Amino acid sequence: MENIKLFEFSLRYKEPTYNPDNYKEEIVLNDNPKIKNDIVLNNERLISLISSYQTLADQLTHKQIEKILIEADDILYTKDYMNYSAISQYFMVFGLSNSLMRKKTKKERLPILKCMLDLYINNRHNMYKAHGYSNMILQVISDNYSHKRTGSTGNIKIEQILQSYAFKRYDSGDDIEKDSFYLLPDKGDKKIFIEILKNNDITFKWSSDKQGKMPDAYLQTKNGKFIIEHKNKKESGGGQSSQNVEVVDFVKNGEKNVSYVTFMDGPLFNSLIEEDHQDKKTKTLLSDIIKYLKLNPLNYFVNTRGFIELIKKIAG
């Protein structure tokens, strides 16, 4: 199937707004609030330290203040899930993420923590006390961060579709020159994938442009070789240029002996379908996809239904 026709085929099928396969729950609280795990105990101790610092600030010696800061630092930057705490979330207002602070030495962090603690007490602590501090915030933030968790549902989805058409993952007995198989380069198959690239003179420049990033899958059949990248896009965001580059950068690659396949699911794909609600950014994105597919006739840009159709055609 011609790549433009397959893209147009994909545009006839909307992606579901809600996909249960993307479920990435992580429970950090017990159902019974009387049973406190280490996460809750650390959070409550952190709140207690903040309250003590606020109440006794004028009476504390420099060493006592330092002791409070050191203990707060230990909780925030050595204990798990403390990036979910209220004060850690407040630091985000100033661009100080928990991960960024963890990269600093304790000596570097303590003066920053002192400054931020003063700001937090002035701007948030009394407000939160008035409304009643709750450990529920830990679970709320955990749910909010679910999309950032490791573990690609894209890999799982691709593999399920490939297996449904009888494609099998490579094993050591397969002939990498002749046999049909698929690889998951970012899930243990990187070495053999790189060997295949070298043997077939595939430059895969996209990887070097992305600091060595591996694709989600590679499929080899009698009908061709396919490098597959999954993109799940919930909504448009960022500047027009950066957003469009991120979405189309994979199919921009053109090589004579391999197909680059962008498999995009999620609600953003639907914006390419809904002409009546398209903004300028979306119209430009749609135009860019078609432009690069025409420039690179071996490449494909598909959604879930289009990817299934592509694999069906490849399987013969």
pTM of the model: 0.70
Under DSSP, the state recorded for 86 is: H
**Looking at the predicted structure, is the pLDDT value of residue 150 above 60?**
no
* 304 contacts 230 by C-beta, under 8 angstroms: no
Average pLDDT over residues 148-169: 83
Q: What is the pLDDT of residue 265?
A: 87
Q: What is the pLDDT of residue 238?
A: 46
CA 236 to centroid of chain Cα atoms? 15
Beta bridge partners of 226: 219, 259
Domain ranges of the chain: 3-21+151-315, 38-146
Quickly state the pLDDT bin for 22 (edges 50, 70, 90).
low
Average pLDDT over residues 236-253: 71
**Which element (helix H / strand E) includes 75?**
helix 62-78
What mean pLDDT, rounded, does the chain reach? 90
**Looking at the predicted structure, is the pLDDT value of residue 304 above 80?**
yes
pLDDT of 103-125, one tens digit each?
999 999 999 999 999 999 999 99
**Looking at the predicted structure, is the pLDDT value of residue 240 above 50?**
no
Q: What is the pLDDT of residue 149?
A: 56
pLDDT of 163-198, one tens digit each?
999 999 999 889 999 999 999 998 999 999 999 999
Q: What is the pLDDT of residue 25?
A: 75
